[in-house]
Structure 1
């Protein structure tokens, strides 16, 4: 039986690793490192650096190329095919190395808005595999901590959603009560641009917990352009960006 560990690593800072996560890394006999192209080489380098910083004797690291996602036949179909292709890569790397305790370092928390669990389920259909999930600091926790704010207002609800949902459907409505805050993840297009900015306040962050952390907050009409410009420049400089924001619909401010 192969035990595959999915280890949450927060947003890339060594301080976001839990003791349980470090112990799981040390126990692994192989750590899989996805490579996402030259423009995102920093992502693989960060995973390597984490291993070197927290482990006295890191296990072998196996770099593998990530397949590209093709959504020309539809978003859901493209994602399903992409997940199948990634699962095939994982399976091949595990087989090639004869690993019995492989591990993957997952940005944020493996349970929250991440495809890693769905891909692991595919691998488990092909290999005698048991899955172990080690939670990490989520980008949501890191965002709220960086801005020193609570996740929810007093007695108010919060919804976690994606940029795609905001872009396609606008501000979600609750059947009963009021939805005052949204946490928006997986938003490569700054979909807050599709919302009426009046009365909205945003807390935005990128590279959370890292030396190049970026934070912007304020009334959306006043800071939206600043976020767009800052995000574009940072992505150009690093070749990638991971950001998240909390946005509030203010009844009165």
Structure 2
């Protein structure tokens, strides 16, 4: 039996690690660190830094190369095939390094339950893998903290969606507050900017954190330019934003 720990590590700041996360890392026999190519070397460097700062036990750290997701027209099919390839890699590393059983850990950005595929991948591993989740600080929490705002308005709902869905379907019905994640192309550009405000953040919690907020019509174009420049500078970008439609309700 192999125990798999999916450990939420927040948005890249080692100070975001919970005590439970630190304890779980030190319980592991094996910690897997995925490499995602030279352009995203900062991501594995942050994981290495976290390990160096909190590990006191004999956990073995093993790095592996993540498979590349195929650029297939059918997005969901491409993701499913990609997840299968990642699951095979996890099992391969477990077979090499934990042939007699033990505890394997993966460090997950944010929280494993929110727009992360680790749990879906783990579900492919079979009954011999005992999965445990250690929650972490999400990019949404880091965004609202950085801007000093509440996520929800008084007694009002908030919808969390993706840039792909926002671009394809426009503003969701029935809500006035929308958090957008996994947006590679600034999907807010498809929306009429009237009465919309945006709170945007990139590299949240890191030294290179970037923030912007204001009326969408005023700051939206600047965010598009700024985002492109940051991606060029760092080779990757992680960002999230809250869109809020003006209403007559009390905030």
| TM class, shorter-length | over 0.9
Alignment of 1:58-73 (within 5 A): 59-73=59-73
How far off its partner does 1:251 sit?
A: 2.3
For residue 157 of structure 1, give the secondary structure of its aligned residue in structure 2.
coil
Instruction: Provide the residue aligned with 2:239 in structure 1.
Output: 243
**Distance across 2 between alignment mates of 1:53 and 1:226:** 37
Instruction: Provide the residue aligned with 1:38 in structure 2.
Output: 38
| TM norm structure 1 | 0.94
How far off its partner does 1:238 sit?
A: 1.1
How far off its partner does 1:59 sit?
A: 1.8
Over residues 69-102 of structure 1, what are the superposed CA-to-partner deviations in whole Å (9 max), with x where a residue is unaligned? Answer: 1142511111100000010111101111115101
How far off its partner does 1:56 sit?
A: 3.1
Instruction: Provide the residue aligned with 2:89 in structure 1.
Output: 89
The alignment covers a number of residue pairs equal to 247
In the alignment, structure 1 residue 102 sits paired with structure 2 residue 67 = no
**Distance across 1 between alignment mates of 2:92 and 2:133:** 21
Cα 1:58–1:211 shift into 2, 3 Å: farther
> Could you list the runs of 5+ residues in structure 1 that have no partner in the other structure?
none
Instruction: Provide the residue aligned with 1:19 in structure 2.
Output: 19
Cα 1:58–1:184 shift into 2, 3 Å: farther
RMSD in angstroms over aligned alpha carbons? 1.3
1:143–1:204 contact (8 Å) kept in structure 2: yes
Over residues 87-138 of structure 1, what are the superposed CA-to-partner deviations in whole Å (9 max), with x where a residue is unaligned? Answer: 011110111111510100000000111111000111235xx11000000001
1:71–1:77 contact (8 Å) kept in structure 2: no
How far off its partner does 1:33 sit?
A: 0.5
Instruction: Provide the residue aligned with 2:201 in structure 1.
Output: 205
For residue 101 of structure 1, give the secondary structure of its aligned residue in structure 2.
strand
Over residues 170-195 of structure 1, what are the superposed CA-to-partner deviations in whole Å (9 max), with x where a residue is unaligned? Answer: 00102xxxx11001011111100111
For residue 6 of structure 2, give the secondary structure of its aligned residue in structure 1.
strand
**Distance across 2 between alignment mates of 1:222 and 1:12:** 30
How far off its partner does 1:232 sit?
A: 1.0
> Could you list the runs of 5+ residues in structure 2 that have no partner in the other structure?
none
| TM norm structure 2 | 0.95
Moved more, 193-202 or 228-237: 228-237
